[in-house]
Amino acid sequence: MTLKQQILQVLENNRGLAMSGQQLADTLNVTRASVWKSIKALQDEGYKIVATTNRGYVLEETNDILSEQSLRACLGEEYRDVDIFTFKTSPSTNAEAMTRLMNGGLTHGTLIVADEQTKGRGRMGKSFFSPKSGIYMSVCLCKSIERMQDVMVITPAAAVAVRSAIAKLTGIDAKIKWVNDIYIDKKKVCGILTQADIDFESGKAGTFIVGIGINFVEQDFPDEIKQRACALFTGQPTITRSQLIGEIYRNLIKLTDDLTDRRFMLSYKQHSLVMNREISYTYNGEDKSGKVIDIDGDGGLVVQENGGGIRNLTCGEISIRSSANEWI
């Protein structure tokens, strides 16, 4: 770690508090001149570090540059040794994780974060709008799972992790649209894509990459999604992206530690956007509609079909009829 990175880590760990040049020099066993030089370099990179007479240097609470140091400070002591990789721009954090996996450089809990994605994508191969200043993160879960039922609830666990983090840090009551989207006021604010590395000989999945994309601040959304997308904040954010990433990360790691413990599915169901709602979907090539009457413990959608029986959906895309008789 360079001196500049060491100083940034100390400031991140003491965000909002003044640290004198002498304190930093003594802590890192360097000269005050070298501290000043590193502080100046960080300021030139855009870090909001204020120098105050007789107090020292303060990294402002509103500083929102994503860095390994800001993320470590927000992950907490329990996860201080996890691998963290940050990028200004990346084609896709999931793609980056997959590349590292193929090269044998991926450990459980690895966190990959980008400020921008150029080829972000969601489920069904759809593109995911990923401009600067959003949250684009991938968490790597290296664990062998034999039961397909447990594999199926990783994405619901991630949805609960995101929804709970948003509620805790912002007070916003976001909803979960089955199976992998987070909505605020009937508009999508977050998408989740889970990918697995399968051992075809054993049939087991040994590594899962959970990709999460969040519209953090208001953006000029493309016309094709403008009416369906929203941002977490339309004005000045009250939290930093690193804080939200840290909360999501801790939630996700804990919820997926034992996937046979399905208590999180109660929260998934409680905050569902689809429960007791009219939906439309395609099944075996046929357009269907019905009412959602339950979400089972494996994340399956239980639907009372119009003019028919009970259908259990385990994958696919659905549309929800809103109170205004519109489809979401």
List CB contacts of 325: < 8 A, sequence separation 6 or more: none
88 and 49 both lie in a single domain: no
183 and 262 both lie in a single domain: yes
The pLDDT value recorded for residue 1 is: 87
CA dihedral 89, 93, 98, 100 (to 10 degrees): 60
The pLDDT value recorded for residue 328 is: 74
The pLDDT value recorded for residue 289 is: 92
CA 134 remoteness from chain centre = 10
Q: What are phi and psi of 207, to 5 degrees?
A: -140, 135
126 and 188 both lie in a single domain: yes
Within the chain, what is the greatest distance between any pair of CA atoms? 79
Instruction: Write the CATH number for 26.
Output: 1.10.10.10
Strands 84-87 and 111-114: parallel
Instruction: Look up the domain containing 244 and give its range.
Output: 68-270
Instruction: Flag residues of the chain having pLDDT under 70.
Output: 123-125, 199-204, 322-327
What six digits make up the tokens of 183? 């909505």
What six digits make up the tokens of 299? 């994340």
CA 297 remoteness from chain centre = 23
Condensed to tens digits (0 to 9), the pLDDT of residues 43-94 reads: 999 999 999 888 899 999 999 999 999 999 999 999 989 999 999 999 999 9
The pLDDT value recorded for residue 2 is: 96
User: Structurally, how many domains does the chain consist of?
Assistant: 3
* 181-184 β-sheet, strand order: 84-87, 111-114, 135-145, 204-214, 187-199, 181-184, 175-177
Instruction: Write the CATH number for 308.
Output: 2.30.30.100
The pLDDT value recorded for residue 75 is: 96
List CB contacts of 141: < 8 A, sequence separation 6 or more: 108, 109, 154, 207, 208, 209, 210, 256
The pLDDT value recorded for residue 121 is: 78
Q: What do you get for the CA distance between the two ends of the chain, in Å?
A: 48
The pLDDT value recorded for residue 201 is: 59
